[in-house]
Amino acid sequence: MTTILPQIASPADLHRLTDPQLTLLAQEIRDELVRVLSIRPAHFASNLGVVELAIALHLTFDFRRDRLIWDTGHQIYPHKLLTGRFQQFESIRTKGGLMGYPNPHESDYDLFMTGHAGCSVSCALGLKVGDDWLDARLKPAPLGQSLPERHSIAVIGDGALPSGIVFEALNNAGGLNKNLLVILNDNAMSICPRVGALAQCLDQARLTNFYRDSKKHVREVLRRIPVLGGMATTAIEQVKDGLKAFLTGGMLFEELGFRYIGPVDGHDLPGLRRWLRDVRNQQGPILLHVLTQKGHGVPQASEDPVTYHTPPVFEKIGPERTIISLKRGGSRAYTDAMSGAIYNAMAEDDRVAVITAAMCQGNKLEKVRADFPARFFDTGICESHAVAFAAGLAKAGMRPIVDIYSTFLQRSFDQIFQEVTLQNLHVVFTLDRAGLTGPDGPTHHGVFDTTYLRLFPNMVVMAPGDELDVAPMLKFALAQDGPVSMRYPKTNLEKVERTAAPLELGQAEVYEWGEDGVLVAYGSLFPTCVKAAQRLREEGLSVGVINARFVKPLDKNTLLKAVEETPLVVTVEEGTLEGGFGSALLEAANAAGLDTRQIVRLGIPDRFIEHAERGELLADLGLDVNGICGAVRRALGREVHPESLPVQ
């Protein structure tokens, strides 16, 4: 029975609760997470792990004034439940409902809309510097009184910690010597097991025996240090912290100018509150190392945090929150086709290597990792490094495939420019989740890549029209000389029955010509266009379909012929209209001196797209069969009465 959680309208209500009630509240939050996430796939294990931390933070600080940034934002559910959103929680990640990430439109307690990892320390530092400056400048304190300080806190996971930007921020913060609190939420996991040397450094603190021994050892050493008053006490405290950092793997942070405190137990609520009260009053940048367990409180989730990072819907039972079974879907997605193609390419050619930036599971590369461990590289959440590293591999003569989600590849824009395309190196980019990613929303939709990749000279930019194009396209990409990219959507595989034309550089595949117009699909919406053309034919309109395959180089012969010879050309893409495929055709037609008025572009408009199921979003944006047919009818002046339309 949930009794306490419904009474928490804001964090202020937490102060009325006794310690046992707070413990009960933590349980109720976990029960609510299990209840809602059993019917709706969402971030699960990460949220179960930060329940006590969220409660302790809201009890210690006042985030109406103080600042709190949850890095990435995927672990923000307990925070949402404590900041007045319990009643709407069931709507999370559905159209019109709560977002699965922080959202300032939902609550003043969410400062930034985020979903990409690594920026929390930078933002928290910026807030701290800005608040200090403006508070001092705009609100001079009356004589004898000082304004309470606004605290600024970043909570960052050990998976996000190795991102380059985090170290840029730590370095900056250590230099500025501001009162910034960074809480390292160390659950020993990214989505997959964490990787790299920093992981080993943090493991040092985790090794139970060592940790226990070192704590005993530290306590012993510290006990012998005499307690003095005033300045001397502070100096000795710092020596103590330094010693502890050395023994527990926190030296790195001390070197960067942070006072390292911890590791402390992230599930001991009273203990956590004591630590937070303590660090609240300290000066200078502090790193509080908190150990948590991903999936805490749900046995299956803590035993298998990879599966339970974002599990499919599941059945649950009883007070122990035992999960009976997961309901996995049977359909194959584009990601499966691509990871299979990557596997085959690696089996055929031992120069082929694959690089993922912490998304082995998302990219379904587990089998590749198991069978080709020497050519599988997980860089951690370090997309910029991943791309420059791939450039190095390519220069050495390897055939690197950079397998990164479209939205996350944005991090490496400059490395794509300088290290890859400027050098004309043969790096293959496979962009997963390109297009509308559904319930994750604006932070994760991969809608900009066509635009930002077609900017660069030397780059081949292409997209499979359907399942039949995926494997041949990867083969084709690996046979090229310079940089090549291909994008594919977050959806189940679709197939247009045909004998697919062989792939040739810069050549579109003409599926069928039409007298009244042609739909030119770039990528994922090719099967939808085929269905739309079919329906229009049933209405008496002869509309053809072209599977464009390439935006760069663009198939000018075929596409400009369509512009010249048919009354209407409709470009269809699951990407932004600004500088996308349709723009490329307009540019080419204009350069050829053609009349461009009969070109209609369908795609994502110039605004950020909210969260909802991909199908719902496509329909809202006129990118489903109805929407495409409607656009053709409108352009040809053949409006049909809505009642006469067949039901889709």
Ligand X SMILES: Cc1ncc(C[n+]2csc(CCOP(=O)(O)OP(=O)(O)O)c2C)c(N)n1
- Select from 601, 549, 612 the least CA-distant residue to 575: 601
Residues that contact ligand X, how many (by CB under 6 A)? 25
Nearer to ligand X, 72 or 576 (CB): 72
Q: Does residue 187 belong to the site contacting ligand X (CB under 6 A)?
A: yes
Nearer to ligand X, 356 or 566 (CB): 356
Nearer to ligand X, 380 or 627 (CB): 380
d(CA 157, CA 338): 29
d(CA 140, CA 491): 56
Q: Does residue 169 belong to the site contacting ligand X (CB under 6 A)?
A: no
List the alpha helices (DSSP H) in 225-298. Answer: 230-248, 251-255, 269-280
Q: Using the rule CB under 6 A, which residue among 80, 93, 244, 294 binds ligand X? A: 294
- Select from 565, 606, 556, 566 the least CA-distant residue to 586: 556
Nearer to ligand X, 66 or 440 (CB): 440
Q: Does residue 46 belong to the site contacting ligand X (CB under 6 A)?
A: yes
Instruction: Kindly state the DSSP code that residue 435 receives in the 8-state scheme.
Output: B
Q: Nearest 5 degrees, angle CA 72-CA 200-CA 217?
A: 110
Q: Does residue 189 belong to the site contacting ligand X (CB under 6 A)?
A: yes
d(CA 100, CA 118): 17
Q: Nearest 5 degrees, angle CA 189-CA 360-CA 552?
A: 140
The least distance separating ligand X from the CB of residue 88, rounded to whole angstroms, comes to 23
Q: Does residue 437 belong to the site contacting ligand X (CB under 6 A)?
A: no
d(CA 178, CA 406): 36
Residues marked as catalytic:
294, 383, 411
Q: Does residue 384 belong to the site contacting ligand X (CB under 6 A)?
A: no
Give the three-class secondary structure for 404: strand
Is residue 123 within 8 A of residue 131, CB to CB? The reply is no
Q: Does residue 160 belong to the site contacting ligand X (CB under 6 A)?
A: yes
Q: Using the rule CB under 6 A, which residue among 26, 381, 529, 532 binds ligand X? A: 381
d(CA 452, CA 416): 10
Q: Does residue 74 belong to the site contacting ligand X (CB under 6 A)?
A: yes
* Stretch near ligand X under the rule CB under 6 A, chosen from 181-189, 509-517, 583-591, 608-616: 181-189
Q: Does residue 162 belong to the site contacting ligand X (CB under 6 A)?
A: no
- Site of tokens 């928290």: 124
Nearer to ligand X, 43 or 601 (CB): 43
Q: Does residue 559 belong to the site contacting ligand X (CB under 6 A)?
A: no
For the chain, give the number of residues: 648
Q: Using the rule CB under 6 A, which residue among 8, 48, 183, 191 binds ligand X? A: 191
Q: Using the rule CB under 6 A, which residue among 157, 295, 400, 465 binds ligand X? A: 157
The least distance separating ligand X from the CB of residue 306, rounded to whole angstroms, comes to 10
Q: Using the rule CB under 6 A, which residue among 78, 100, 159, 517 binds ligand X? A: 159
Q: Does residue 122 belong to the site contacting ligand X (CB under 6 A)?
A: no
Two tokens, residue 187:
């659950």
Q: Does residue 75 belong to the site contacting ligand X (CB under 6 A)?
A: yes
Q: Using the rule CB under 6 A, which residue among 38, 60, 103, 190 binds ligand X? A: 190
Residues numbered 204 to 233 that lie near ligand X (CB under 6 A) are none
Residues numbered 398 to 417 that lie near ligand X (CB under 6 A) are 408, 411
* H-helix or E-strand spanning residue 101: none
Q: Does residue 508 belong to the site contacting ligand X (CB under 6 A)?
A: no
d(CA 568, CA 513): 12
The least distance separating ligand X from the CB of residue 160, rounded to whole angstroms, comes to 4
14-to-26, 29, 142, 150, 258 alpha-carbon distances in Å: 11, 13, 31, 20, 30
Phi and psi at 302, nearest 5°, equal: -75, -25
- C-alpha count within 13 angstroms, C-beta hemisphere, residue 515: 4
* Stretch near ligand X under the rule CB under 6 A, chosen from 156-164, 341-349, 434-442, 447-455: 156-164
Nearer to ligand X, 409 or 563 (CB): 409
Two tokens, residue 139:
């609100």
* Stretch near ligand X under the rule CB under 6 A, chosen from 31-39, 187-195, 269-277, 601-609: 187-195
- Select from 388, 391, 362, 358 the least CA-distant residue to 376: 358
Nearer to ligand X, 156 or 245 (CB): 156
**DSSP for 414-432?**
HHIIIIIITTT---EEEEE
The footprint of ligand X (CB under 6 A) covers 46, 49, 72, 74-75, 115-118, 157-160, 185, 187, 189-191, 294, 357-358, 381, 383, 408, 411
